[in-house]
Amino acid sequence: MYKMHLLVCGGTGCRATQSKQIEENLRAELKAKGLENDAQVIITGCFGFCEKGPIVKILPDNTFYVGVESEDAAEIVEEHVLKGRRVERLLYTDPENKEHISDSKHMGFYQKQIRIALRNCGFIDPENIDEYIARDGYFALGKVLEMSQTEAIEIMKKSGLRGRGGGGFPTGLKWEIAYNNKADQKYVVCNADEGDPGAFMDRSILEGDPHSIIEAMTICGYCIGASKGLVYIRAEYPLAITRLQIALKQAREYGLIGKNILGRNFDFDIELRYGAGAFVCGEETALIHSMEGLRGEPTVKPPYPAESGYLGKPTNVNNVETFANVPVIFLKGHEWFSSIGTAKSKGTKVFAITGKINNVGLIEVPMGITLREVIYEVGGGIKDGKMFKAVQTGGPSGGCLTEKHLDTPIDYDSLLAVGSMMGSGGMIVMDEDDCMVSIARFYLEFILEESCGKCTPCRIGNKRLHEILKKITEGKGEPADIERLKALGNVIKDTSLCGLGQTAPNPVLSTISNFEDEYLAHVNEKRCPAGQCKALLKYEVDENLCTGCTLCFRNCPVGAITGERRQPHHVNQSLCIKCGVCLEKCKFNAILLT
Amino acid sequence: MDTVNLIIDNKPVVVKAGTTILEAASGIGVHVPTLCHMKLSDLNIENKPGDCRVCMVEVKGRKNLVPACCTEVSNGMEVNTHSIRVINARRTVLELILSDHPADCLICPKSGKCDLQNLAHKLGIREIHYQGEQSHYRADTSPAIIRDIDKCIMCRRCEMMCNKVQTVGVLSAINRGFYSVVSPAFEMNLDHSVCTYCGQCVAVCPTGALTEVDETGNVIRALSDPSKTVIVQTAPAVRAALGEEFDMEPGTLVTGKLVAALKRLGFDYVFDTDFAADLTIMEEGTELLNRLSRKLSGDKDVKLPILTSCCPAWVKFFEHQFPELKDIPSTARSPQQMFGSIAKNWFAEKLGIKREDLVVVSIMPCVAKKYECGRDEFKANGNPDVDFALTTREFAALIKVSNIDFSTLPDEDFDNPLGESSGAGVIFGTTGGVIEAAVRTAYELFTNKPLPRIDFDELRGMEGIRQATIDFGGLPLKIGIAHGLGNARKLLEDVQAGKSEFHAIEIMSCPGGCIGGGGQPYHHGNAEILKKRQMALYREDKNKVIRKSHENKYIIELYKEFLEKPLSEKAHHLLHTEYFDRT
Amino acid sequence: MSKIKLANHTIQIVKDVCAEFENKEGELINILHQVQHKLGYLPAEVQEAIAKELKIPVVKVYGVVTFYSFFTMVPHGENPISICMGTACYVRGAEQILDEFKRELKVQVGESTSDGKFSINCLRCVGACGLAPVVTVGEKVYGRVAPNQVKEIIAEYSNKNVTDDV
């Protein structure tokens, strides 16, 4: 038995910052010190606190090292493992009182979190099925196989779990519909085509706890009467794919998937299908077409996949996070699960908080928590002491919420009511430097690239929305443009074929309704209050500060700056391309940006 | 049967369960406009992608508007098809389509027949509020079809026809988002693809994105060239449809007026492709009987079933897709090409002119005929047997441009010797007609007995695949019929697998046969029109004195004077052809 | 139809991949992934060969290839540079990073440098938002990239290749 466990985060984020090297160095150091039988190095899934990665956690004393570098391995082994002394400089520093905190429980980032879907991420080696089983893994499956299909579905219904992929459809009800549709073959599909830019919870779960998804899909297969499962996963997630493949192999070897699971007359196996870079494939009918080898174009619902899905058979589609909640519901009971959250939104929700926030990372919080708590307590507030401006929830189809919405409880219905949505859980924080018109344009650009092109409003309407926004950010907007954006946006929402188009105008409409002043400034005054829209910026020389050093003159790529040595220089606005080189080069702060 | 009660525009409606809002509304005279949707009932052809979003209606209790074409009714539903919300949405959607569409209606080949133009008119669009970038693609001109896909509105009708109905598989949506469009692979030209030129994409395109190559100018030039003798043949299906171009009831037979119009246009002789159809029966029927008797006498090498070969799109289809079966179809040329060959090789001589000075024009319900007359095997020293093939639509345009008041024309008769035909020749224009014509002749030649009846109802209809057994004096002759290349493919696959029990199979590429050809007046999704054209041809057949090809006295004379007998060496040389592996 | 003018071994690769998936039409996307992985890209001739193996019209293959952004008909550079344009990266300055790469390499998005060493593409979120803005070169992920690091990143590969060539 090992006396000590060194958990090294192996999520994509920490891997990118050399966590693999840290792991190797730790092993080498342990071996060099002859400690390889006392302490074990385990690569885990994401701890969530990506801002402070790479992270190394030491058990049993729960020491949480942040920002570890590969060179720190020797000190950790020498000091902590061998001598039992914490390496103080690698501990997290509380931003308020500047004290070191060693146990993650006491960090603001973790204090308000309840980890259900992420329960195993950062605790177990995702490539070792025994570690999953040691944390009651596959126990829920055993329990479910003792029940009748309808009993199990009833528990799911009572738990109040709703789809975590965006729409929030009650999961138990979805299973019941698929169960009631009789067919010779049914399918369970796990939607792992996480596409919201700025959301990475599905990836983290698959990387950190792949067995929970396999177990949940198998439970679902039993409940609805399906013998085949498919995971539709983004090809851009190589690590998640590898870990899932390893997990499937192990589960098969243990008889937890395959024929006669746990000795029962129940067969279930899972295959992988790869996405190929199409956001619209997150929509379930598009996803199904893609799995069939076709263009990922959505079709009109009904028929719903539960009636006619993959290969025309009843198909139940849930996303990764939804599935990750399932085993716990059977382990701890639906009463326990439904005691967390609000009246209509039960349990927790995982968010990827990113953008201009101190604690970028992956968090899991109970439904009903307010945006303020998430941003200021879990997220640690706005980066560099800047002013909070907006938070975008729900991915590219969500809305931008402002200061006045900060006390909105986070649940499906409250977010919809204020013009945004839960979506898959991206939460992007923006500060005073972000121009909301540019942000709306950015989202529309994304939609333009990702629209499948099938229906008119999404194919052409969003193109037109984008063109108008572009015009405004380039200083060519007219007052009527704002009304046109609203009118067109509302028609696109009302007439588009699938969820992508129906929500595409949200960022535009919500920024207009919450930041109309900013739009008006662009249109009427040709001014970008956040100073982001290049075309609206003006570089000028402050004659009082300019020393006539000619540095700007010599660096201007287009010869827009004129002036004699030791005389104040001038910017010729008609030539200026607003590249900002003059501002960067000036040593006397004499270039004014207005 | 389950019925559903609902309310549409404040009117209570009772319909069968499974009905769409669009159908239910249409039942009470509320015609919700559509664009991508197209349904040819009885032919089992439907395009319902639900993607144009023009037919949006408001359903009480639903968050968003719903497409009427693909939303089924349910009990208690309250539908509003013209609320301000609906009208605003519908007009905005249409404006969006128009904002990405060239506004060259005045010079568009589809002007006046364009579903998009009609819709803009119906919805009273006066301004396009959302202007912006328009998509541009390379135009593509093939021997028969022009693709101007800047005008594509992604209704996907052509794609459905090309893939689901015809199984040719040339067209598909490509790219994504704003730049998606329907195109052949790699945006290659049609003439590099396996396109059969059946023209069904053209027949269903709601805009000017797909049209036929316009040859009217060439014909006008030939007619005004004093050194040329210009003769014309008209295919059977034209006479049952041309009237539609002049606002006549579908199914009106305009044979006499058609001849009168051609004479006024200045053609030196106005002949009938039906004559050549009778000739085809003589050759093809004889070929069938030959193969049949060889089979009966125990020849194991003989290929049966024999497949008809009148349809150029069908010929190109099997050359691409089933080249290993290319010795199964009859070697008989199509009536258009038999006519051309007789005209250039016999009639020109009779007139005492060189073949180069005889211009043969054909009026066809078809766009593939344009391609067919350009095939090398139908040329002598580069001079084609048929110089120009016009579609029914181009012919109508020619009449209009020549200030001929079609509706008041008198009925006139075809010229001889190539204008006389039997009823059998007439029904070549509909599915089942060629094989019925062949049966009428082959029966009598095979049994040496007169036919007990002339109408073979068991061969008629609109079913995609039909079969019948005809008693040939004790021999049960098994006949298969397919129209639409997808249906043809099914029968061919059976032949390929050695499972086909037919002796003869008739194949026509277009749904309904030539009456539904790609060159006919646009049916705009109304299958009733096709049925009326079909009935018209059977009517014309019934009114003919001669109803069997071998009784056509001009055919008999032609053999006597020139061709000797069916399948003679001369006939073989002039009236038969060969097929090529095009893979 | 354009004549297939592929080397025999390329055709064999296509055939093997298709056979691995039992020449099933429904496996088209998996097949395209595999073939692209092996050949680097999916030129027209390869698509024709796949269509032939699966007995489907080539336009179906082309329709799928042009739908999914992961598939490409032009070869990437030896060192494919992808700039994440996810929201988190965008608000942390991904656009400036992209501009810098474009300026340094003198190519546009989707193009390769004339020596074939580098190509630039934009990527949807790689899910490493904690490290925004993120750039990947091949399999390697660079986090918290600042515009002035762009030169270094490029140099890392230019030099490596020089030594490799020697």
3-state secondary structure of B183: strand
Q: Are residues C85 and C155 in the same domain?
A: yes
Pairwise CA distance, residues B283 & B309, whole Å? 11
pLDDT in tens, B343-369: 999 999 999 999 999 999 999 999 999
Cβ atoms B442, B288 nearer than 8 A: yes
For residue B316, what pLDDT is reported?
A: 97
Share of chain A above pLDDT 90, in %: 71
Say whether B187 is catalytic: no
Q: Are residues B294 and B443 in the same domain?
A: yes
Cβ atoms C31, C18 nearer than 8 A: yes
The domain of B510 spans: 288-332+425-516+543-575
End-to-end Cα spacing for chain A: 66
Say whether B135 is catalytic: no
The yes-or-no verdict on residue C60 having pLDDT over 80 is yes
Cβ pairs bridging B and C (under 8 Å): 45
- C125:A199 CB<8 A: yes
Does residue C143 sit within a domain? Answer: yes
Q: Are residues B311 and B206 in the same domain?
A: no
Pairwise CA distance, residues A203 & A216, whole Å? 16
Amino acid at B523: H
- C63:B174 CB<8 A: yes
Q: Are residues B173 and B317 in the same domain?
A: no
The yes-or-no verdict on residue A369 having pLDDT over 70 is yes
Token pair of C33 as six digits? 């992934």
Pairwise CA distance, residues C79 & C86, whole Å? 21
Instruction: Name which of A198, A296, A452 is nearest C87 (Cβ-Cβ).
Output: A198
Nearest-CA distance C10 → chain B (Å): 20
Amino acid at A139: F
Q: Are residues B555 and B437 in the same domain?
A: yes
Q: Are strands B465-472 and B475-483 parallel, antiparallel or unpaired?
A: antiparallel
Instruction: Name which of C47, C59, C61 is nearest B171 (Cβ-Cβ).
Output: C59
3-state secondary structure of A271: strand
Mean pLDDT of B70-95: 97
For residue B215, what pLDDT is reported?
A: 97
Highest mean pLDDT among A79-83, A172-176, C143-147: A172-176
The yes-or-no verdict on residue C87 having pLDDT over 80 is no
Q: Are residues B204 and B295 in the same domain?
A: no
Share of chain C above pLDDT 90, in %: 45
- Measured from the Cβ of residue A502, the count of other Cβ atoms closer than 10 Å reads 19
Nearest-CA distance B236 → chain A (Å): 40
Q: Which residues of B touch A488 (CB under 8 A)?
A: 92, 129-130
Q: What is the mean pLDDT of chain A?
A: 92
What are the structural domains of chain A?
Answer: 4-106 (3.40.30.10), 129-337 (3.40.50.11540), 348-431 (3.10.20.600), 436-524 (1.20.1440.230), 538-593 (3.30.70.20)
The yes-or-no verdict on residue A594 having pLDDT over 80 is no
Mean pLDDT of B170-183: 97
Q: Which residues of C touch B169 (CB under 8 A)?
A: 56-57, 59-60
Q: Which residues of B touch A455 (CB under 8 A)?
A: 50-53
Nearest-CA distance A292 → chain C (Å): 5
Instruction: Name which of C89, C91, C124 is nearest A279 (Cβ-Cβ).
Output: C124
Please give the C-alpha separations between residue B497 and each of B146, B295, B296, B490, B493, in angstroms, as whole numbers.
37, 19, 22, 11, 6
- Measured from the Cβ of residue A333, the count of other Cβ atoms closer than 10 Å reads 14
The domain of C55 spans: 8-65
Pairwise CA distance, residues A311 & C70, whole Å? 24
- Catalytic residue, chosen from B58, B159, B215, B287, is B287
**Considering only residues 104 to 163 of chain C, which have any Cβ-Cβ distance to chain A shorter than 8 Å?**
123-132, 134, 139-143
The yes-or-no verdict on residue C164 having pLDDT over 60 is no
- A453:B72 CB<8 A: no
Mean pLDDT of A53-57: 90
3-state secondary structure of B292: helix
Asked if A311 has any chain C CB less than 8 Å from its own CB, the reply is: yes
Helix (H) or strand (E) holding A517: helix A516-524
Cβ pairs bridging A and B (under 8 Å): 108
- Which of B432-446, B466-480, C86-100 shows the lowest per-residue confidence on average (mean pLDDT)? C86-100
For residue C1, what pLDDT is reported?
A: 43
Q: Are residues B301 and B153 in the same domain?
A: no
CA-closest candidate to residue B524, choices B51, B207, B96: B207
Instruction: Name which of B67, B70, B176 is nearest A453 (Cβ-Cβ).
Output: B176
Does residue B151 sit within a domain? Answer: yes
Residues in chain A, total: 594
Q: Are residues B327 and B191 in the same domain?
A: no
Mean pLDDT of B127-141: 94
CATH of the domain at B470: 3.40.950.10
Place of tokens 């919450």: A514
Q: Which residues of C touch B168 (CB under 8 A)?
A: 57
Does residue C72 sit within a domain? Answer: no
Is residue B106 very low, low, confident or very high in pLDDT (cuts 50, 70, 90)? very high
Mean pLDDT of A9-33: 87
3-state secondary structure of B143: coil
Fill in the DSSP letter of residue B355: G
Pairwise CA distance, residues A412 & A393, whole Å? 11
Q: Which residues of C touch B192 (CB under 8 A)?
A: 1-2
Mean pLDDT of C42-63: 96
CATH of the domain at C91: 3.40.30.10
CA-closest candidate to residue B436, choices B329, B338, B292, B308: B308
- A464:B96 CB<8 A: yes
Is residue B175 very low, low, confident or very high in pLDDT (cuts 50, 70, 90)? very high
Place of tokens 């789809």: A163
CATH of the domain at B208: 3.30.70.20
Is residue A581 very low, low, confident or very high in pLDDT (cuts 50, 70, 90)? confident
Instruction: Name which of B172, B176, B583 is nearest C59 (Cβ-Cβ).
Output: B172
Q: Are residues C59 and C92 in the same domain?
A: no
Does residue C89 sit within a domain? Answer: yes
pLDDT in tens, B188-219: 999 999 999 999 999 999 999 999 999 999 99
For residue A18, what pLDDT is reported?
A: 81
Q: Are residues B298 and B156 in the same domain?
A: no
Q: Which residues of A touch B54 (CB under 8 A)?
A: 456
The yes-or-no verdict on residue B382 having pLDDT over 90 is yes
Interface test with B, best of C4, C25, C45, C66 (most B CBs within 10 A): C66
3-state secondary structure of B38: strand
Alpha-carbon dihedral A169, A172, A175, A176, rounded to 10 degrees: -110
Is residue C160 very low, low, confident or very high in pLDDT (cuts 50, 70, 90)? low
B29 phi-psi bin (left φ>0, alpha ψ -120 to 50, beta other) = left
Q: Are residues C104 and C144 in the same domain?
A: yes
Residue where one domain finishes, among candidates B161, B195, B212: B212
Instruction: Name which of B174, B193, B194 is nearest C66 (Cβ-Cβ).
Output: B174
Mean pLDDT of A18-34: 91
Angle, helix C8-20 to helix C28-39, in steps of 10 degrees: 140
Share of chain A above pLDDT 70, in %: 100
pLDDT in tens, A154-196: 999 999 999 998 778 999 999 999 999 999 999 999 999 887 7
Among chain A, residues having any CB pair with chain B shorter than 8 Å are: 278, 295, 297, 299-300, 302, 448-457, 459-461, 463-464, 467-468, 484, 487-488, 491, 493-497, 502
CA-closest candidate to residue A183, choices A318, A315, A299, A286: A315
- C130:A198 CB<8 A: no
Place of tokens 């009082």: A544
For residue C4, what pLDDT is reported?
A: 53
Does residue C90 sit within a domain? Answer: yes
Nearest-CA distance A51 → chain C (Å): 5
What is the secondary structure of A417-465 as a DSSP string? HTT---TT-EEEEEETT--HHHHHHHHHHHHHHH--S-SHIIIIIHHHH
Q: Are residues C58 and C112 in the same domain?
A: no
Cβ atoms A530, A486 nearer than 8 A: no
Place of tokens 């049916």: B523
State pTM to two decimals: 0.93
Helix (H) or strand (E) holding B39: strand B38-40
Does residue B431 sit within a domain? Answer: yes
Q: Which chains touch C (3 or more CB pairs under 8 A)?
A: A, B
- C129:A50 CB<8 A: yes
Mean pLDDT of B238-245: 98
Q: Are residues B318 and B183 in the same domain?
A: no
Pairwise CA distance, residues A579 & A576, whole Å? 8
Does residue B552 sit within a domain? Answer: yes
Total domains in chain C come to 2
- Per DSSP, what are the bridge partners of residue A540? A592
Does residue C159 sit within a domain? Answer: yes
Say whether B310 is catalytic: yes
CA-closest candidate to residue B436, choices B542, B336, B509: B542
Pairwise CA distance, residues B497 & B474, whole Å? 28
Pairwise CA distance, residues B335 & B325, whole Å? 22
Q: Which residues of B touch C2 (CB under 8 A)?
A: 186, 188, 192
Contacts of A388 (CB under 8 A, 6+ apart): A375, A382, A403, A406, A429, A431
Total domains in chain B come to 2
What is the C-alpha R_g of chain B?
A: 25
Asked if C74 has any chain B CB less than 8 Å from its own CB, the reply is: no
- Catalytic residue, chosen from B159, B372, B506, B540, is B372
pLDDT in tens, B265-282: 999 999 999 999 999 999
Fill in the DSSP letter of residue B166: S
Interface test with C, best of A14, A121, A295, A420 (most C CBs within 10 A): A295
The yes-or-no verdict on residue B463 having pLDDT over 90 is yes
For residue C163, what pLDDT is reported?
A: 43
- C129:A12 CB<8 A: no
Does residue C129 sit within a domain? Answer: yes
Interface test with A, best of B20, B96, B153 (most A CBs within 10 A): B96
Q: Would the CA dihedral through B209, B213, B215, B217 be positive or negative?
A: positive
Share of chain B above pLDDT 70, in %: 100
